[in-house]
Amino acid sequence: MSKRTLKVAVLGLGTVGFGVPAILQEQKDKIEQTTEMKIVIAKALVRDVEVKKALAQKYHFQLVPDIKDIVQDPEIDVVVELIGGIEQARVFIKEALNACKHVVSANKDLIATYGEELTTLAKKQNVNFYYEAAVAGGIPILRTLSSSLSADGIYEVLGIVNGTTNHMLTQMMQKGATYDEALTSAQKLGFAEANPTNDVDGIDAAYKMVILSDFAYGMKISLDDIKIQGIRMLQSQDVKIADSLDYVFKLIGYSRKFDEGIDVAVAPALVHKNHQLANVNNEMNAVFVKSAEIGESMYYGPGAGSLPTAASVVADLIAIAQNVQHEVLGIPFNTYKKAKKLATDSQIRNQYYFHFEVLDGKKQFEQLKSLFAKAQIKIKQMIDYDPQVVVLTYAASAKRKKQFLKSIESTPGFELISVYNIFD
């Protein structure tokens, strides 16, 4: 008996779209054995048919200029959205789901914003909606969280989930580059876009932390629930000081549980050189998970790139083919659900790095110590860089940190230069 065929339509043949037919061909035998189906691309939606002609001929699919040619085609089983952006992609995906097509996407912006709406629609239509590639491109982290770690109680997820900023910070740490030099280098190498806002301001990482928090804790949060700080204001001076104290700066997305509430943020942070995340360099990504049963585990790999990302997209297609074979449809990618509960400032705890200018010299060190004592924040290390001082603290609540910052503001003689979290 000949094998059943899963017919796929790809929307957008850009960086990732280009990789999907290549992998389906390259791994054809393995995919057929795994799924007992053939997975073929039948159509691709493009804006300019002429430009993508050669690719379509090579892989034997039809180019179409109108989404109707796909959603109204009863032969198409799965729509793979790879156009990016939010509004147009949302419209296309809803049309596909309404036409009872399974959907695969790599679009973190869209899923972090409208994931719940699309997941609900997919469930109603009894189809699958998968998006493994949306977080950390080539790292299979979402399926790991929803399946392999489903028996575990996750309480901390730390991610280096933006390759552009990680590349820039690596240049700043290892080569002493300034922020501007690091950005220019990342742009030259194609890691940063001409308008790097989403990356350097932490927004791209925040989208991914929305999705990771959903998979780790079952809680649907939005970008508004996340404190976001990018790397634009990071000073070379802090990078050098961190290095001398055995720390590296990383843009960390963190999603942590305190009691039953979660705290999610994106910010540059000092990571101790012995921490596994400290060695995740250049454009590589990693997600570090702490859980009750397994303890610590880390998932490392390329967070972007045509083939790594397309491999995650194809893995979603394989999962859909298996579901079709076994007739298990309409089950959400992540089935774990809990009511959203955000941790309070009294619950959230961090170790801190404070950098001050001490305007009146050494005599004020004692006053600084007493301000920390008053806020009940214990000092771990105090380093004199006359006329500046850096203080590393033991863990203290975000409430105490805020109290301390208020007291410093109203005390003459000190100027706060920077404050960052520390991960040891």
Q: Is 277 in the site for ligand NAP (CB under 6 A)?
A: no
What three-state secondary structure class fits 164? helix
Binding residue for ligand NAP (CB under 6 A) from 291, 309, 334, 403? 309
Residues designated catalytic: 208
Binding residue for ligand NAP (CB under 6 A) from 39, 64, 71, 83? 83
Torsion, Cα 158 162 168 170, to 10 degrees, reads 40
In angstroms, what is the minimal distance from the CB of 389 to ligand NAP?
A: 42
Task: Give the residue closest to ligand NAP by C-beta.
Answer: 14
Residue 181 burial by CB count (10 A; 0-12/13-18/19+): exposed, middle or buried? Answer: middle
Contact 190, 207 (CB under 8 A): no
* Residue 36 CA from chain centroid, whole number: 33
- In the region spanning residues 335 to 364, those forming contacts with ligand NAP, defined by CB under 6 A, are none
- In the region spanning residues 28 to 47, those forming contacts with ligand NAP, defined by CB under 6 A, are 45-47
Distances (CA, A) of 246 to 15, 126, 208, 243: 38, 52, 28, 5
Of the candidate spans 6-14, 272-280, 332-340, 386-394, the one that interacts with ligand NAP by CB under 6 A turns out to be: 6-14
Minimum CB distance to ligand NAP smaller for 16 or for 97 = 16
Q: Is 202 in the site for ligand NAP (CB under 6 A)?
A: no
Binding residue for ligand NAP (CB under 6 A) from 6, 8, 9, 13? 13
In angstroms, what is the minimal distance from the CB of 162 to ligand NAP?
A: 11
* Residue 323 CA from chain centroid, whole number: 27
- Nearest Cα neighbor of 265 from 339, 159, 346, 141 is 159
- In the region spanning residues 95 to 154, those forming contacts with ligand NAP, defined by CB under 6 A, are 106-108, 133, 137
Q: Is 304 in the site for ligand NAP (CB under 6 A)?
A: yes
* Interatomic CA distance for residues 25 and 36, integer angstroms: 16
* Residue 89 CA from chain centroid, whole number: 19
Helices (DSSP H) in 220-302: which residue ranges? 236-244
In angstroms, what is the minimal distance from the CB of 203 to ligand NAP?
A: 12
Tokens (6 digits) for 82:
């790879």
In angstroms, what is the minimal distance from the CB of 20 to ligand NAP?
A: 10
Work out the widest C-alpha separation in the chain, in whole angstroms: 88
Size of the site for ligand NAP (CB under 6 A): 22
Binding site for ligand NAP (CB under 6 A): 12-17, 45-48, 82-84, 88, 106-108, 133, 137, 304-305, 309
